[in-house]
Amino acid sequence: MILQDDRNNAQYRNTVDAFLRLRRYGVGEYYRGLTAILLRNGPATFLYFGFKDTLKERLLPEDGPLLSGIDSGLRKEAIRNFLTGATLGCVISSLFYPLNVIRIQMQTAEVGSKRMSVWAAGKALYEERGGKVRLMTAGMGIHVTRSFVFWGCMTLFSELVRDCLHKFQS
């Protein structure tokens, strides 16, 4: 995030330069925002794997109306996998988007400054955005769109690899 923040463009030449310069602030500077990441990724991963198969079977059954016009079993399964991942990606990304915004707030704080807790960063961000929850979710549309494509493709390809490995083992 340091290199993505244009306030730091003149300070760091590249990733290696930033990595080496951060050493003087201690190892904690490399992990700024880790709490927000863990609070977002832990439950999000649990939800993804907890609902992936159920969503696929209940909302996208093989003989359901959405897939009725597709005759190829492989195509049908690929579409089911993509839509399952895409749907979960959108829902989960939407639920945890505020934590993502807070993480960015934490990681773009001035290098070497006191690290904020998730709560303090969220409160500061809320105040910075005029006390409006709506402004805390600015940019969510593009994030959800990216998540739709990313998680759809990730689920599709991970299931293809899993199936190939399963066939290889048998």
Q: CA gyration radius for the chain?
A: 21
44 in Cβ contact with 118 (< 8 Å):
no
pLDDT tens string, the chain, 170 residues long: the values are 888 888 877 888 898 998 998 999 999 899 999 999 999 999 999 999 999 999 998 887 777 666 666 666 677 888 889 999 999 999 999 999 999 999 999 998 888 889 999 999 999 999 999 988 888 888 999 999 999 999 999 999 999 999 888 888 87
Q: Which of these, 113, 132, 109, 133, lies nearest to 121 by C-alpha position?
A: 109
Residues near 70 by beta carbon (within 8 Å), at least 6 away in sequence:
76, 79
